[in-house]
């Protein structure tokens, strides 16, 4: 294989590996700040993956919106909450959780090995077809992934979904306000329920289900 | 202009929701820091009914005659199937907002956002039913779901409501991720995101797999087959979660119980109907080829097992509930099972099966809204009726509140001559004629089993007296709820007495899915 293909592979593997490590850190660290940092690492690696797909604009947006705005917002909230952001360790249902994790790992391993086999099959197939001359790699237009090509696509071909997404964003905003806003003039309104209150409130009749 | 006419059911909802938000913002205070909300519920309900009327208008004008819909291709498909669902979903949304108009002020949790969220959720369900491309499908699904998550969490002070919303949100996001991953694999295998193109490509791949040749629209060759299969499994899992069928039903009882009752009724009705619309479209348009619909190699066997599990588990667990609201949640899972029997039947005779499902959904919508409405009516401020004990003796003390409740429960149980009976009849008939006799027998036995817990409510309503010291339920008074119950009861009885007219509408809608 030529050098640029090797370079591409190495770049992809590195980005993918960092994304996985970041994702694992996000869900496994008890310290929420570390979790947010793991998320940041994953977002950066995914932006790197976008770059390898010629999607420069998407990569830039990923950096600005996710890494720049959303992770910072997460950090603000974690800092505001202070020590109460630390979740108390929960030892209930350890056994079913372990079973679930084991099953998921097993399934994941199966899927990954199957995908690897599929990838080998596909590369063999394309090599065979390319040798026979019936297949050549798709060419990317020179302006692909740039902001002008992106905007043109967005406002002509995909205008309908673009307009529909405004409804999605609006409903997300209203939903967030409805959940976050406290009611005026109602003394019964309590503070945000803490994690402990939530666990206590778990319906008792679940045992009968 | 034609375009606006064809899209009027959608635009009405969006416009109405925006107007309601403005009205809420401009609502005057009463001097004590509380806002006076004159008829926001009425506005929401009228918007929904206007959208319903717009769908009917396009239907009767003849959607085939409208030109210039090409610009919507392939994003939105406006055909009679879409219009049927638009009418049905808008009806469900309108009735749910009427229930909310009575329930929210009574329990002092009324805020204007509820109605805006409800309308936008309905709009999302409409987009979902009309989606002709994976992109619009996902946008519609998320618009609907995000609204419903917020509606579930609406009772801020209640930890149970917060817990229900969090569970629903996390599991729903997980299901959406599965769905997206599935569609990504399908796109990788076929190079299409539009459902029609996807269907063509799947057909080519399936025929290639059948003859053992490496045939495919892309260079993947024979490797496309497993990719399609894996993508299909993930897509199916995501959609089955939304219709809350076993084994993806765990969120349903908690979310339904924790949400304010009007939101619960909306979830049981609109979310389920929208999910079934998209399930039918994906199965019949993308995976409607001979290979995919064969019992040995395709989806019917999988769906049949899910249907059997759903009906049996839900009916068995529903009978053991102590809370009537939770029982209704399990009953809605069981109804998803009956509807899935209809989905299996579509693999043999698409039009008969689909029209059965559409008819069933119509009857199910009005009866479910009515049943939740009856539950709402039975309680009052500070004493919401939730458990069976709360309903004890209501039929003797307040016959006017108990009678419609009983009617809707009988319809859900499938007792003739109500809408529910004919819904079950048409679905079982389609399944029987499709040759799925074992499945038909299981569905029939299950509907007998299901009658047990509906009758249990009737026993409590009419043959029990509240125990000594137990709180005695006094029904609330609300014009909104009464109107919702009256409209639902009208439809339940009308469809039950004259099923042929609704069936012919459902059949025309179903036929349009197959190009008829």
HSE-up of residue B242 (Cα within 13 Å, Cβ side): 31
- Residue B35 φ then ψ, to 5°: -90, 145
User: Chain A neighbours among B 179-218 (CB < 8 Å)?
Assistant: 214
Whole-number pLDDT of residue B223: 63
Does the beta-carbon distance from B111 to A178 stay under 8 Å?
yes
Whole-number pLDDT of residue B210: 52
For residue B221, the distance in angstroms to the closest alpha carbon of chain A comes to: 8
Any CB–CB contact under 8 A between B69 and chain A?
Answer: no
CA neighbor of B108 nearest in space, from B147, B154, B149: B154
For residue A117, the distance in angstroms to the closest alpha carbon of chain B comes to: 10
Please state, as a whole number, how many other Cβ atoms lie within 10 Å of the Cβ of residue B458: 17
Lowest average pLDDT, out of B91-95, B489-493, B512-516, goes to B512-516
| Whole-Å CA distances, A52 to A2, A10, A38, A139 | 17, 11, 21, 14
Does the beta-carbon distance from B34 to A165 stay under 8 Å?
no
Whole-number pLDDT of residue B132: 93
The residue that leads in pLDDT, B354 or B28, is B354
A-chain residues near B33 (CB < 8 A): 184-185
B-chain residues near A117 (CB < 8 A): none
For residue B369, the distance in angstroms to the closest alpha carbon of chain A comes to: 23
Cis peptide before B442 (omega within 30 of 0): no
pLDDT of B254 > 90? The answer is yes
Confidence of residue B216 (pLDDT cuts 50, 70, 90): very low
What is the C-alpha separation between B249 and B263, in angstroms, rounded?
Answer: 18
Whole-number pLDDT of residue B395: 87
Tokens of B330: 């399990």
Contact call for residues B430 and B342 (beta carbons, < 8 A) = yes
Contact call for residues B495 and B422 (beta carbons, < 8 A) = yes
Beta strands in B279-356 (DSSP E): none
Contact call for residues B198 and B190 (beta carbons, < 8 A) = yes
Tokens of B483: 């109107």
DSSP H/E element including B197: helix B195-211
pLDDT of B215 > 60? The answer is no
Q: What b-and-e string marks burial along A5-43, b requiring 16 or more CB atoms within 10 Å of the CB? A: eeeeeeeeeebeebbeebbebbeeeeebeebbbbbbbbb
Out of A160, A165, A205, name the one closest to residue B76 (CB). A160
User: Chain A neighbours among B 331-360 (CB < 8 Å)?
Assistant: none
Out of B146, B156, B257, name the one closest to residue A183 (CB). B156
Does the beta-carbon distance from A171 to B124 stay under 8 Å?
yes
Whole-number pLDDT of residue A183: 54
What is the C-alpha separation between B364 and B447, in angstroms, rounded?
Answer: 14
Out of B34, B136, B162, name the one closest to residue A198 (CB). B162
Percentage, residues of chain A above pLDDT 90: 37
Does the beta-carbon distance from B220 to A122 stay under 8 Å?
yes
Does the beta-carbon distance from B220 to A183 stay under 8 Å?
no
Percentage, residues of chain B above pLDDT 70: 95
Confidence of residue A90 (pLDDT cuts 50, 70, 90): confident
Alpha-carbon torsion A155, B135, B273, B298, what sign? Answer: positive
| Whole-Å CA distances, A36 to A72, A78, A147, B149, B166 | 9, 9, 29, 24, 20
B-chain residues near A177 (CB < 8 A): 113
Lowest average pLDDT, out of A82-86, B109-113, B362-366, B493-497, goes to A82-86
Task: Give the contacts of B331 (CB within 8 A, at least 6 positions apart).
Answer: B314, B318, B412, B450, B453, B454
Whole-number pLDDT of residue A200: 45
Most distant pair of Cα atoms in chain B: their distance: 78
pLDDT of B135 > 90? The answer is yes
CA neighbor of A179 nearest in space, from B162, B294, B275: B162
Alpha-carbon torsion B370, B374, B380, B386, what sign? Answer: negative
CA neighbor of A205 nearest in space, from B179, B76, B317: B317
Any CB–CB contact under 8 A between B121 and chain A?
Answer: yes
Give the number of beta-carbon pairs within 8 Å between A and B.
Answer: 127
- Residue B62 φ then ψ, to 5°: 100, 100
Interface probe with B: pick from A178, A187, A194, most Cβ of B within 10 Å: A178
| Whole-Å CA distances, B219 to A134, B188, B216, B491 | 9, 11, 7, 54
What is chain B's mean pLDDT, rounded? 90
Average pLDDT over residues B259-281: 95
Task: Tell me which DSSP letter residue B131 carries.
Answer: B
Average pLDDT over residues B142-165: 91
Does the beta-carbon distance from B32 to A201 stay under 8 Å?
no
Contact call for residues B99 and B480 (beta carbons, < 8 A) = yes
- Cα B427-B430-B436 angle, rounded to 5 deg: 105
Write the secondary structure of chain A as one string of H (helix), E (strand) and C (coil).
CCHHHHHHHHHHHHHHHHHHHHHHHHHHCCCHHHHHHHHHHHHHHHHHHHHHCCCHHHHHHHHHHHHHHHHHHHHHHHHHHHHHHCCCCCCCCHHHHHHHHHHHHHHHHHHHHHHHHHHHHHHHHHHHHHHHCCCCCCCCCCCCCCHHHHHHHHHCCCHHHHHHHHHHHHHHHHHHHHHHCCCCCCCCCCCCCCHHHHHHCCCHHHHHC
Average pLDDT over residues A141-170: 90
For residue A203, the distance in angstroms to the closest alpha carbon of chain B comes to: 8
Residue with tokens 């064969």: B294
Out of B71, B75, B123, name the one closest to residue A161 (CB). B75
Task: Give the contacts of B391 (CB within 8 A, at least 6 positions apart).
Answer: B324, B378, B385, B457, B460, B461, B473
Write the secondary structure of B261-290 as one string of H (helix), E (strand) and C (coil).
HHHHHHHHHHHHHHHHHHHHHHHHHHCCCC
Tokens of B202: 């799947």
The residue that leads in pLDDT, B106 or A119, is B106
pLDDT of B434 > 80? The answer is yes
User: Chain A neighbours among B 239-258 (CB < 8 Å)?
Assistant: 253-254, 257
Q: By three-state DSSP, how is residue B467 classified?
A: coil
Which ipTM value was assigned to this complex?
A: 0.89
Chain A residue with the nearest C-alpha to that of B15: A167
- Return the CA Rg of chain B: 22
Interface probe with B: pick from A49, A114, A161, most Cβ of B within 10 Å: A161
What is the C-alpha separation between A72 and A65, in angstroms, rounded?
Answer: 10
Out of B111, B159, B257, name the one closest to residue A197 (CB). B159
Any CB–CB contact under 8 A between B123 and chain A?
Answer: yes
What is the C-alpha separation between B179 and B472, in angstroms, rounded?
Answer: 47
HSE-up of residue B60 (Cα within 13 Å, Cβ side): 6
pLDDT of B376 > 70? The answer is yes
Whole-number pLDDT of residue B35: 66
Does the beta-carbon distance from B33 to A185 stay under 8 Å?
yes
């Amino acid at each position: 294989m030529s050098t640029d293909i090797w370079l591409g592979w190495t770049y992809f593997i590195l980005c993918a590996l960092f994304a996985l490590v970041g994702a694992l850190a996000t869900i496994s660290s008890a310290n929420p700040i570390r979790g947010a940092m793991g998320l940041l690492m994953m977002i950066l690696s995914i932006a790197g993956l976008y770059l390898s797909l010629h999607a420069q604009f998407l990569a830039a947006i990923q950096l600005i919106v996710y890494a720049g705005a959303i992770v910072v917002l997460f950090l603000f909230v974690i800092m505001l909450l202070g020590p109460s952001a630390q979740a108390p360790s929960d030892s209930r249902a350890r056994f079913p959780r372990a079973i679930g994790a084991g099953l998921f790992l097993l399934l994941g391993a199966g899927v990954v090995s199957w995908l690897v086999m599929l990838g080998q099959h596909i590369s063999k197939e394309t090599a065979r077809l390319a040798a026979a001359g019936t297949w050549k790699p798709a060419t990317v237009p020179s302006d692909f992934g740039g902001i002008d090509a992106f905007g043109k696509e967005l406002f002509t071909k995909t205008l309908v979904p673009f307009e529909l997404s405004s409804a999605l964003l609006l409903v997300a905003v209203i939903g967030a306000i409805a959940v976050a806003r406290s009611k005026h003039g109602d003394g019964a309104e309590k503070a945000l329920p803490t994690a402990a209150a939530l666990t206590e409130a778990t319906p008792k009749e679940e045992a009968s289900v | 202009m034609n375009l606006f006419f064809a899209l009027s059911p959608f635009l009405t909802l969006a416009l109405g929701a925006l107007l309601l938000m403005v009205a809420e913002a401009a609502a005057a205070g009463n001097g004590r820091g509380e806002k006076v909300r004159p008829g926001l519920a009425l506005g929401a309900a009228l918007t929904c009914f206007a959208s319903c009327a717009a769908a009917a208008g396009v239907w009767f004008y003849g959607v085939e005659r409208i030109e210039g819909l090409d610009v919507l291709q392939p994003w939105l498909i406006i055909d009679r199937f879409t219009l049927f669902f638009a009418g049905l979903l808008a009806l469900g949304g309108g009735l749910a907002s009427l229930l909310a108009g009575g329930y929210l002020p009574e329990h002092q949790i009324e805020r204007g956002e509820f109605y805006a969220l409800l309308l936008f959720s309905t709009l999302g369900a409409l987009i979902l039913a009309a989606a002709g491309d994976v992109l619009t499908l996902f946008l519609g699904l998320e618009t609907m779901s995000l609204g419903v998550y917020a509606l579930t969490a609406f009772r801020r002070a209640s930890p149970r409501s917060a817990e229900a919303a969090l569970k629903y949100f996390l599991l729903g996001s997980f299901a959406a991720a599965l769905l997206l991953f599935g569609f990504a694999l399908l796109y990788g295998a076929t190079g299409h995101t539009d459902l029609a193109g996807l269907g063509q490509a799947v057909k080519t791949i399936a025929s290639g797999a059948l003859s053992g040749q490496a045939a495919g629209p892309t260079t993947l060759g024979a490797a496309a087959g497993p990719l399609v299969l894996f993508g299909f499994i993930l897509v199916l899992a995501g959609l089955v979660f939304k219709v809350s069928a076993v084994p993806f039903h765990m969120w349903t009882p908690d979310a339904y119980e924790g949400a304010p009752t009007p939101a619960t009724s909306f979830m049981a009705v609109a979310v389920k109907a929208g999910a079934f619309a998209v399930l039918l479209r994906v199965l019949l348009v993308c995976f409607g080829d001979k290979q995919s619909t064969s019992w040995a190699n395709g989806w019917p066997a999988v769906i049949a097992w899910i249907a059997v599990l759903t009906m049996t588990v839900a009916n068995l667990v529903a009978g053991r509930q102590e809370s009537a609201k939770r029982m209704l949640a399990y009953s809605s899972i069981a109804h998803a099972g009956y509807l899935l029997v209809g989905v299996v039947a579509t693999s043999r005779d698409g039009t008969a099966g689909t029209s059965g499902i559409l008819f069933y959904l119509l009857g199910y919508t009005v009866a479910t809204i009515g049943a939740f409405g009856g539950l709402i009516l039975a309680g009052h401020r500070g004493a919401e009726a939730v458990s069976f004990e709360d309903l004890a003796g209501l039929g003797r003390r307040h016959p006017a509140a108990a009678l419609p409740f009983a009617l809707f429960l009988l319809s859900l149980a499938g007792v003739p001559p109500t809408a529910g009976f004919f819904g079950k009849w048409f679905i079982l008939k389609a399944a029987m004629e499709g040759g799925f006799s074992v499945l038909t027998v299981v569905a029939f036995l299950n509907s007998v089993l299901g009658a047990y817990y509906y009758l249990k409510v009737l026993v409590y309503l009419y043959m029990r007296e509240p125990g000594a010291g137990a709180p005695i339920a006094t029904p609330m008074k609300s014009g909104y709820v009464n109107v919702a119950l009256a409209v639902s009861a009208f439809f339940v009885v009308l469809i039950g007495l004259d099923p042929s007219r609704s069936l012919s509408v459902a059949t025309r809608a179903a036929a349009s899915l197959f190009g008829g």
